[in-house]
Structure 1
């Protein structure tokens, strides 16, 4: 098992190489018009989750990332999740290509496609997924910032998730007239999505019992013309009571339900090209299926980004 410092070193080194090479290439170009921005980031958390679902064991992780944002709105990113309590060097690799644009001054839309790869022994809840299509619309109401995200997840089973989020950035600088931009960005969100489970149905039907001689009717045309059975044998007293036949079927069912309620309180600090964001998040999973070990808990996360 690798130590935290080994994981951090292996994660930071490629990011630094990418950042320095990209910066060198931009300096050599000496173009007065900036066409895009690079963002190098690192995120660390005390546990992992997927749309409000988590495992019984905690899996702290670090997630280095590199993104490029073009001025046209096209962007691409690569991120790596490395769990502290596993043997795999890479537990999850995400590659995303997206496009952001504004419809109105306060309405922004984001479209993206992601591909996921997982380590052989990863315990992550979302390890069965392979790809995802995402569409996000965000509107600034001046006092509240509302974002609605819809995701179509591909994998062993195709699922749909939606996240409704309301937030508002609150600058704290006026409180003490600090030089560094500092603020709070509290968010309240509701996650809903499809759930797959099995439903069992039992059906009971009645079946006519056989007659005393072991047949339901003899002679031509099932005994209808049998002279020994007036009326076709319908009133034969030797006929036993009806039999009950029970049939049980099990089918896979998918339902769309609320999955999670969440409160997140990030502190955002800007220092030059750096952005620091320590945050506390409390998630409450609901409508859990049998065997789901998710529970309400707190998540502590630190995110650092450098933009150039």
Structure 2
């Protein structure tokens, strides 16, 4: 488990090292940058995380508002409403605070988020309480590599690292940006084990996960192992018109390393039994679209 801390600590140390080296330039930029508010709304066709998703489609409508100071500090809040026909409810409230910087071709961000999920949420991350995340990217011109890493807070913490590549194309006087991207995600899966244990087979689900009143529980015996979770290909499209920005992002996720699940069935009458199986995973396509306004 100790090795899992290394990517996170290296990124945080690198972030503050770069931040110190570029402090003078950032101070100069701060004199010309404008502090502003940003409000927006986004639609997500399905809640997918690291190639994993619930058996029920979970589309989200998410209004958000944030304040971005010229120093790079920011704070934001969002509400995600599940618009599924089978489950319409306020699913998630999230608060985020962080710091961003840009120096020449180097971009960086560190942030802390606090998540409040509905007790009836069936999102695969619904047992997550929050996270500490950081990212660094450098634009070489022909390609922009990115490294992202984070710690998610669950009953047991999860550690994640992502490596990405992207290249931006501009048109319409730079108002239109198209940025084909590739992302490799690796992580532990304690969050996923908690989802299996408390959410996936919950008795209160509208679509029954029990047979004849039997209670089903499950967990992942290898949830603490750090593995590649999925490969993601996306094409973010952004168009800026004055203070408005319109975005559309189609994403194709190819999950890998399916989880081993230990499942226990407790019938109303008779003896309990346990079985172990490997979950079935498949490629998934989803998309998001939204608009934001700076003021």
Counterpart position of 1:193:
187
Counterpart position of 1:301:
288
**Take 1:35 and 1:253, find their aligned partners in 2: how far apart are those partners?**
44
**Take 1:144 and 1:253, find their aligned partners in 2: how far apart are those partners?**
34
**Take 1:95 and 1:279, find their aligned partners in 2: how far apart are those partners?**
23
**Take 1:264 and 1:252, find their aligned partners in 2: how far apart are those partners?**
29
Counterpart position of 1:101:
101
Tell me the alpha carbon deviations over residues 243-275 of structure 1, each in whole angstroms, 9 at most, x when there is no partner. Answer: xxxxxxxx7662111001010012221111111
Q: Could you tell me whether the CA contact under 8 Å between 1:259 and 1:285 is conserved in 2? A: yes
Cα distance change on mapping 1:80 and 1:150 into 2, 3 Å: same
Extract unaligned runs of 5+ from structure 1: 1-32, 174-178, 199-250
Extract unaligned runs of 5+ from structure 2: 1-31, 194-220, 262-278
Deviating above 4 A after TM superposition, structure 1's stretches of 4 or more consecutive aligned residues are 291-294
Cα distance change on mapping 1:252 and 1:284 into 2, 3 Å: closer
- 1:65 matched to 2:56: no
Over aligned residues, Cα RMSD in angstroms? Answer: 2.5
Counterpart position of 2:258:
288
SS for the counterpart of 1:122 is: coil
Q: TM-score, normalised by structure 1?
A: 0.66
Cα distance change on mapping 1:293 and 1:69 into 2, 3 Å: farther
Q: Could you tell me whether the CA contact under 8 Å between 1:87 and 1:121 is conserved in 2? A: no
Cα distance change on mapping 1:92 and 1:294 into 2, 3 Å: farther
Report which of the two structures shows the higher radius of gyration computed on alpha carbons. Answer: 1
Q: Could you tell me whether the CA contact under 8 Å between 2:83 and 2:89 is conserved in 1? A: no
SS for the counterpart of 2:225 is: strand
What number of residue pairs does the alignment pair up?
220
Q: Could you tell me whether the CA contact under 8 Å between 2:106 and 2:139 is conserved in 1? A: yes
Counterpart position of 1:201:
none
